[in-house]
Amino acid sequence: MDNDKYFSQVYMPKMNRLGKITGYLGVLFSFIPVSYLAWQYGLVPQGSALFASFITAAASFGVLWVVEPISYFPVLGPIGTYMAFLSGNISNMRVPCASIAQKAAKVEPGTEQGSVVSAIGMAVSVIINIAVLTVGVVLGASVLEKLPPNVTQALNFLLPALFGALLVQFGLKFRKHACFMLVFAIAIAYAVRIGLFNWLPGAANYLPMLSTVFISIIIALMVHKKKA
C-alpha cells in the first residue's frame, strides 16, 4: 500500500475512532471523583448552587470551549486536537512540543508526515508532564513549599521566555511575516488591555489569539496566491 493511502485509509480512521472513544470516556471518567464523594459520603451539591456556579463558569470561559479548538486546529491537526484538549495545557506545552518535534524530524507542518510526527511529540509531552506532576504530588506540599521564593518567582519568567524563543525559532524562516504578525499581535493585546474591546464579553480571553491566528493565515494565503 502506498504512503498516501496508508495515511488516509488506515491511520486516520483508526486515530479518529481512538480519539473519539478516549475523548468521550475522558468526559465520563472526570465524574468518578464527584461520584465517589456522593456515594461514600453523600456529598452532593445543591441544585441551585451548582446551576449558579455553572452559569458563572460558562459566562467566564464558555466561549473558549468552542473558540480554542477552532483557533488551535490549524496547528494541532485532528489527532493533536483529540490529545491536546483531553490533556490540557495547550499553548504552554502541547503546541511547542508538537512544533519542536516536527522541526527535529525535519517534516513540514500541515503535511501527512507532519501530522504523524506532531502526534508523537504531543504524546511524549503528555507522558513527561504527568510523570513530573506525579513525582511532585508524591513529594507533596511539604517538599515543594521548601523551594526558596526566588526560585518560584523565577519560574514565572520561564513561559514568556519560551514564547519569545519559539517565535524567533519559527519566525526566522518567514521573517517579514513574523515581524508583521508580532506588531499586529501587540496592537491587539494593547487594545484589549486598555479596554477598547470591553463591549465584547470575555474578549480578553480569546480575541488576541483568535484574531492573530486567523489574520496570519489569511495574509499567508494571500501572499501565496500572489506568488502563484
Partner 1 sequence: MEVMQIANSFPMWIACGVPVLLVVVQAALFARDSFTAGKAMGLTDIQLKSAARSSAITSIGPSIVILSGMLSLLVMLGGPVAWMRLSMIGSVMFESLAAGIGTQTVGVTLGSDPLTPLAFTMALWTMVLGSIGWVIFATFSADRMSVIEQKVSKGNTVIMTTIASAAIIGVFSAQSAASLVRLNKNAVACILGGLIMAVITFIAEKKDSHHLREWSLTITILLAMLITALL
User: In the range 171-190, which residues lie near partner 1 by CB under 8 A?
Assistant: 171-174, 177-178, 181-182, 184-186, 188-190
Least spacing, CB of residue 197 vs partner 1, in Å: 14
Largest CA distance in the chain: 67
Cα dist from 144 to 109, 128, 132, whole Å: 38, 19, 13
**In this structure, are residues 109 and 102 in contact, taking their beta carbons and an 8 Å threshold?**
yes
Q: Name the residue among 209, 161, 169 with its Cα closest to residue 185.
A: 209
- Cβ atoms within 10 Å of 16's Cβ, excluding its own: 13
Query: What is the DSSP track for 76-92?
Result: HHHHHHHHHHHH--III
Cα dist from 35 to 38, 42, 45, whole Å: 5, 9, 11
φ, ψ for residue 126, nearest 5 deg: -65, -45
Assess 158 for contact with partner 1 (CB under 8 A): yes
Site for partner 1 (CB under 8 A): how many residues? Answer: 161
Among 9, 31, 196, 201, indicate the residue that binds partner 1 (CB under 8 A). Answer: 31
Among 195, 196, 197, 213, indicate the residue that binds partner 1 (CB under 8 A). Answer: 213
Least spacing, CB of residue 50 vs partner 1, in Å: 6
Rounded distance between C-alpha atoms, residue 84 and residue 127, angstroms: 12
Among 9, 26, 195, 201, indicate the residue that binds partner 1 (CB under 8 A). Answer: 26
C-alpha of 206 from chain center: 13
Binding mask 6-25 for partner 1 (x = CB under 8 A): xx--xx--xxx-xxx-xxxx
Q: Name the residue among 206, 212, 211, 213 with its Cα closest to residue 68.
A: 206
Among 144, 195, 196, 198, indicate the residue that binds partner 1 (CB under 8 A). Answer: 144
Site for partner 1 in 62-121 (CB under 8 A): 62, 64-66, 68-70, 72-75, 77-79, 81-93, 95-114, 116-117, 119-121
Least spacing, CB of residue 180 vs partner 1, in Å: 9
Assess 200 for contact with partner 1 (CB under 8 A): no
**Quick one: 127 or 199, whose CB is closer to partner 1?**
127
**Quick one: 33 or 199, whose CB is closer to partner 1?**
33
Site for partner 1 in 33-62 (CB under 8 A): 33-37, 40-41, 43-46, 49-50, 52-54, 56-58, 60-62
Q: Name the residue among 77, 67, 111, 95 with its Cα closest to residue 163.
A: 95
Least spacing, CB of residue 102 vs partner 1, in Å: 7
Assess 160 for contact with partner 1 (CB under 8 A): yes
Assess 123 for contact with partner 1 (CB under 8 A): yes
